Structure 1
């Protein structure tokens, strides 16, 4: 071979090394080679860059992408994605500003479903996307059907009336008050046109509690379930709607036994189901009372909560300590509680059966123990009341125990997906709540982490034997640490989004308490439940109480470190991206999981770009509480603001300090009118009194401190903020004509004649407006020229077309819904 031929052969080898598998040589050869001229010689660095660039071409990436999809399909992750797309459909339907008809959704589901089934051959690549759309439409259809089926009658406005009904649930709080769930049979004085079917009423001086199934009556104050405390926060009316509760309130005085018998046909299916529910509630209550009687105090209330899920008897201080320490999840009947109970029963029963000589050789004792554990968790879910987290845990544990019967793997992502599918089908609205999302996020992360650890362990080489005892202790310590870390990371974004707080030392608290929960609290709690029918629960409950006391000691220690981080609200876009990214990272196993990390990073970047400025003024939906917000404090018009609303403001705005108003003494000489009549029917205030009231108001506001309220007791509160606005809140609505032109913003928690003050420069917020808008945030909108900035309003509700919001548009005078949108 000549030198020329040898050189040409070496160039051909170098050129072939650039080719991708299956690519055409002409596609990658230089243009000079195709034209008959020899290509210039490339150095080694340039050849590597050219090869890498060639791998990024779409033609080269397509087979790699398809191979990754086949890898995911081999893992069975197509099934795992089924509930994910269904959940997206549920959340999309709930987020719409209007209702989609069930018939329309059913038609769309049929169209996309049949299209997915028809995709074959060349169109086979479209089957996956069409299936995803069909699952998305399935989720929308399921939640639409649930909403139509629920059809809760929600009270439209606060009212005082006589209520008669049947007690279907009762709960005692830490102050000894009883909270009754009542199936309403009749209202009178006045008789409500839209009577709620179920209400919850607190009896402050109830004496001996009424049993379940008792017919009671009494004078009660009923109110609609509250909406969000601020725009973007939790809407409690949404939760009440899907629970069937149409109103909340309290009895005036003690309720009494009704002389009228409860109505209803005992032979109907509804009555039978109601009787079963009442029996289970009575059993749950009996178990809780026996636990609290045996232990007592907050420890007994905690022990009862771990078994029956009744948390109202726990003092607020203890609940707050557990939340700040990151141990609030212990109160929920979740996967941890049920897994420990089932695992303790399974191991204990199998150990006892193995001690019988020869039994293990004749019968499958593992499967017998699994059957007993399955029966036990079924009783557990009935006693615990069936919350979403408990239901999810019960489904998963049941699937794991049934898998033992068939010698199949118990812990897998398929089981998590199956549990999610069951919950989405049975109660799709539950997926919008933090209980479902946090429970499944933690479970998904733990199962995915366990799967990766198992694969890594299978591929590792054997290490030197360090002794069985050392490996056991190291494994337990590592398991506790990793479980706490993964669970905390998986739920952190949900804790920030829904509760606006993050326990900085939550990992430490969980590591210290996990041995107590796993070895003492839950096992002895299980022993107590097994021995309770025989009256022998005292000793195991004493051991359980000791473990709970030590857990509370740890919680108080961690809380004393002052490590809770109040984060404030975060944007919905960043939260959604981080949540979806976390699901992708946990579900996918190939290099496609990197896309989840990309989504998480995009979500974090989105959070950094958000406008973190605080509103200048916040108004509660009833108009009775108003706050001036600064970076250091929230100044309110009430010395002791209601904790339910104000605590949400503090966490959502990340402002902890409260600035109370300066209270002035009641005015003398009968200067101010009485509030014994409605503002619209009372006679107008005389001209001389109007001048005196305005003078008193001006004197007080001119001598007040900027950024804080000054209040004339039972009449008005006023303030000037740093922007220059004058804000007045009227407790006495009869003062509206006299003071409506004395401020930039007037808030009155009653209906007033706005037209009478239309010439004023003030923006007026009254009860009529707040009923349509809910809670309000106000920010400064700078003018193009000079002058005081304008008031920019943001309301909690932008539409009232959804079923859980529509009661705000009902007019009891006409008996019809007035389709009127929130407006300013």
Structure 2
């Protein structure tokens, strides 16, 4: 034991500069435990476990690095668990528990334009006394609005309201959780033309939101092409509402969706451009160049530009993280210190997690920090740093070296982001590294400077030529996205991934990135185990949404069949992704082994060495009792969006409204006879409707 302790102490001594990097990891681990464990009993057990880790550190001895690491790690992880628990209780707000139609009156807090869908989404602070949640979100048709909607205005409208929706099926997006932390108690759709009147003057944030909306409209009007204008607006303001869904999907499949969200790439371009421009302009004066601290002044100008750009683009979590990182880089430059380090990334993560611990569960936080951490760790590796270092050589060799480093960075970032994309979206682009080699320089050095120049020239009404060039550059970006997205095998699909597999891959990736000695190689073990576990995750044979209306049957040949032929695009995508399928879904009616009427469908499927008969209702009309009971008796599984009669007794499973009210959406593995439910994942968290 003493010898093992000495070896561990020697390893930690060699890694002493890296130990601080694990503080945000410990904080995030505590937050993740509370989010992943479904019930309070698990939360209390986790608290006891983390407290035990801290006590073990005391027992080992706070005078040793191992003891201090265990003590600090246990306490910080425990603090993370308590922080997210407290945060969830602190933001608690009333919400409706069933659909209803009501007259909504209140003050408009935020306006989100969705021109591609011909909608405007409003966040409304409702008037007291209406028996409505204090805050709700409404979609309104653009045709029902007389003109632009301004934040701070008063609105009265009749709307159909719904509770914030839990995941439709296990592994789908949990909007109820996002709405809980945003304080939104209902969502809905306006049923008539709203009455909007000017309200009291808003504060700075409302003025900023209105300025952002006006700037987005101006950019969209100046750029040729609807989606091109939407991309241009997203680069400036973060507003993605004008991008057509087919173009947005092409960007996602090509691995270029990160260009749409204002994050490190965009903030770095703005801050770096302003810093360089300020430095060059001030250096034109010999007096200033000799007497003034030009680098410090330029860094201050870059900081102001970064903060202004963050506010203008909506101050989302990735933008705030990038702004904090940029400010730390500028501070390092001003002090003459090395700025681009993993400590910088760790500091940004700590700031975000302390202020918004719920951001850890979102793909935006995970993708952003995974990409930055992987990139900095790669460039910090001695061999890569030596290869990328500047040297006296021919231009061709210099460009070749830069392209090689960029390609290697792209491949590593794609590898780091793939588990996160597969976990959240069930898909990952395979050619993103190659696409980004062209798309990132095109966006950073062509599109964004042209857009900035065009906006500057628009002050004098001379921005036309710059907008024309920007439009063609954006058209080229969309062309690249569609060509890459349409290439054979461009997307890898995976069904819902187990939490354990994802946790192992994250732990292995962090182990590889944060250590510097040979100890980092041990991270390959959990990474490989997690990847194999994820690849071995069985695809569900049957998916049923929480309302019972939509049923998806996996056919085993890379396709799914849907009960309702008129299923909307959003639900078609949710069911296909949860099944790990990329092909266009088929209707039940098209299956040779299915018999359907207007009210009932009976489908057969071979799984687990037997033939399963699945009966589903697909109309709201009552079926003759005798006919229904006979059909149920001949079926293994009966599914309905309404309550099935007591006489309906299928051989294995009866899924109807009473059951779904307790379980939410279901995922059924017929080979293994396993049933997974949304309620099992959401558990008893405050936003759960299954408590």
Give the TM-score normalised by the residue count of structure 2: 0.89
Per the TM alignment, residue 98 of structure 1 is displaced from its structure 2 partner at its CA by 2.2
Measured in 2, the distance between the counterparts of 1:370 and 1:113 equals 42
| Unmatched 5+ stretches in structure 2 | none
Residue aligned with 1:205, SS: helix
Other-structure match for 2:540: 615
Measured in 2, the distance between the counterparts of 1:86 and 1:369 equals 35
Measured in 2, the distance between the counterparts of 1:506 and 1:125 equals 41
Tell me whether 135-144 or 179-188 shows the greater mean CA deviation.
179-188
Q: Where in structure 2 are the equivalents of 1:452-601 lying within 5 Å?
A: 452-453=381-382, 456-457=385-386, 465-467=392-394, 469-470=395-396, 472-528=398-454, 537-569=463-495, 570-601=497-528
Residue 732 to residue 556, structure 1, CA distance change in 2 (3 Å): closer
Q: Where in structure 2 are the equivalents of 1:203-242 lying within 5 Å?
A: 203=141, 205-208=143-146, 209-242=148-181
Residue aligned with 2:418, SS: helix
- Deviation track 1:324-347 (CA, whole Å, cap 9, x = no partner) reads 211111111111111122112212
Other-structure match for 1:293: 221
Residue in structure 2 matching 1:201, options 131, 136, 139: 139
Per the TM alignment, residue 560 of structure 1 is displaced from its structure 2 partner at its CA by 3.3
Q: Where in structure 2 are the equivalents of 1:674-689 lying within 5 Å?
A: none
Q: Where in structure 2 are the equivalents of 1:72-471 lying within 5 Å?
A: 72-73=15-16, 76-99=17-40, 125-170=66-111, 171-185=113-127, 195=133, 197-203=135-141, 205-208=143-146, 209-257=148-196, 275-296=203-224, 297-453=226-382, 456-457=385-386, 465-467=392-394, 469-470=395-396
Other-structure match for 2:14: 71
Residue in structure 1 matching 2:613, options 725, 743, 756: 725
- Deviation track 1:506-530 (CA, whole Å, cap 9, x = no partner) reads 1221112222122111233344455
Residue aligned with 1:770, SS: helix
Per the TM alignment, residue 573 of structure 1 is displaced from its structure 2 partner at its CA by 2.3
Per the TM alignment, residue 540 of structure 1 is displaced from its structure 2 partner at its CA by 4.1
**Residues 180, 203 of structure 1: 8 Å contact kept:** no
- Deviation track 1:719-750 (CA, whole Å, cap 9, x = no partner) reads 34442414031422533745441223333323
**Residues 284, 308 of structure 1: 8 Å contact kept:** yes
Measured in 1, the distance between the counterparts of 2:396 and 2:614 equals 71
Residue 802 to residue 116, structure 1, CA distance change in 2 (3 Å): same
**Residues 407, 434 of structure 2: 8 Å contact kept:** no
Measured in 2, the distance between the counterparts of 1:546 and 1:219 equals 43
- Deviation track 1:547-566 (CA, whole Å, cap 9, x = no partner) reads 21221122222233233223
Measured in 2, the distance between the counterparts of 1:304 and 1:644 equals 24
Measured in 2, the distance between the counterparts of 1:61 and 1:607 equals 34
Residue 471 to residue 615, structure 1, CA distance change in 2 (3 Å): closer
Residue aligned with 2:560, SS: strand
Higher relative contact order (CA 8 A, sep 6+): 2
Residue 356 to residue 705, structure 1, CA distance change in 2 (3 Å): closer
- Deviation track 1:57-102 (CA, whole Å, cap 9, x = no partner) reads x7766545433211211xx212111000000000001112224899
Residue 635 to residue 801, structure 1, CA distance change in 2 (3 Å): closer
Residue aligned with 1:725, SS: strand
Other-structure match for 2:656: 766
Per the TM alignment, residue 162 of structure 1 is displaced from its structure 2 partner at its CA by 1.7
Residue 769 to residue 515, structure 1, CA distance change in 2 (3 Å): same
Residue 478 to residue 236, structure 1, CA distance change in 2 (3 Å): same
Measured in 1, the distance between the counterparts of 2:72 and 2:328 equals 26
Residue aligned with 2:566, SS: coil
Residue aligned with 1:162, SS: strand
Q: Which has the larger radius of gyration?
A: 1
- Deviation track 1:765-802 (CA, whole Å, cap 9, x = no partner) reads 233322321111233368xxxxxxxx753212127653
**Residues 121, 139 of structure 2: 8 Å contact kept:** yes
Other-structure match for 1:269: none
Residue 147 to residue 299, structure 1, CA distance change in 2 (3 Å): same
Tell me whether 131-140 or 286-295 shows the greater mean CA deviation.
286-295
Measured in 2, the distance between the counterparts of 1:515 and 1:105 equals 46
Measured in 1, the distance between the counterparts of 2:542 and 2:100 equals 29
- Deviation track 1:223-278 (CA, whole Å, cap 9, x = no partner) reads 123222321332121122112222222111322236xx97xxx8xxxxx9x73321
**Residues 83, 357 of structure 2: 8 Å contact kept:** yes
Per the TM alignment, residue 505 of structure 1 is displaced from its structure 2 partner at its CA by 1.8
Residue aligned with 1:155, SS: coil
Residue aligned with 2:187, SS: strand
Aligned length: 677
Residue 781 to residue 568, structure 1, CA distance change in 2 (3 Å): closer
Residue aligned with 2:310, SS: helix
Measured in 1, the distance between the counterparts of 2:682 and 2:624 equals 28
Q: Where in structure 2 are the equivalents of 1:639-678 lying within 5 Å?
A: 639-655=565-581, 656-662=583-589
Measured in 2, the distance between the counterparts of 1:802 and 1:305 equals 37
Measured in 1, the distance between the counterparts of 2:670 and 2:44 equals 45
Residue aligned with 2:433, SS: helix
Residue 375 to residue 736, structure 1, CA distance change in 2 (3 Å): farther
- Deviation track 1:459-494 (CA, whole Å, cap 9, x = no partner) reads 99x97x434x44543343234323322221221221
Measured in 1, the distance between the counterparts of 2:65 and 2:346 equals 25
Give the TM-score normalised by the residue count of structure 1: 0.76
**Residues 552, 575 of structure 2: 8 Å contact kept:** no
Measured in 2, the distance between the counterparts of 1:606 and 1:798 equals 20
- Deviation track 1:602-633 (CA, whole Å, cap 9, x = no partner) reads 2234345x353x33322111111112221123
Other-structure match for 2:556: 631
CA RMSD across the alignment: 3.2
Measured in 2, the distance between the counterparts of 1:65 and 1:104 equals 28
Measured in 2, the distance between the counterparts of 1:101 and 1:573 equals 16
Measured in 1, the distance between the counterparts of 2:228 and 2:681 equals 45
Measured in 2, the distance between the counterparts of 1:792 and 1:598 equals 29
Residue 749 to residue 300, structure 1, CA distance change in 2 (3 Å): same
Residue aligned with 2:573, SS: helix
